[in-house]
Copies of this chain bind each other. A is one copy, B any other.
């Protein structure tokens, strides 16, 4: 089917999954790392930094914007992208809480 049954999971579970998608592709990881490294926001130099075609980069940027973890400021003819501090913090909290919720115990 390829259709995730989002309606049968909690909002929290769906949000975690969405936030994780921001990091679930190496190109998006690379994009985020570049945005972090260049403290100021990088514009279309992203295309130069990455071994991907411009439309492909643009598509990943769109996905990251959909998730909310980056934002783009239009400064024609360029667009300036940067990390969305609020959502980044949400991700930090979310994954922090989730990853800290496991307490090792004797198991299998």
Contact with B along A11-50 (1 / 0, CB 8 A): 0011011011111111111100100100111000000000
* Residue among A8, A13, A71, A103 having the largest count of chain B Cβ atoms under 10 Å: A13
Copies of this protein in the assembly total 2
Residues from chain B with Cβ under 8 Å of A17 in the complex: 23-26, 28-29
| Number of residues on chain A facing chain B (CB within 8 A) | 53
When chains A and B are docked, how far (Å) is the Cα of A33 from the Cα of B14? 13
Give complex CA distance A19, B99 in Å.
12
Chain A residues proximal to chain B, CB less than 8 Å: 4-6, 8-10, 13-14, 16-17, 19-30, 33, 36, 39-41, 51-52, 71-73, 80-83, 85, 88, 91-92, 95-96, 98-108
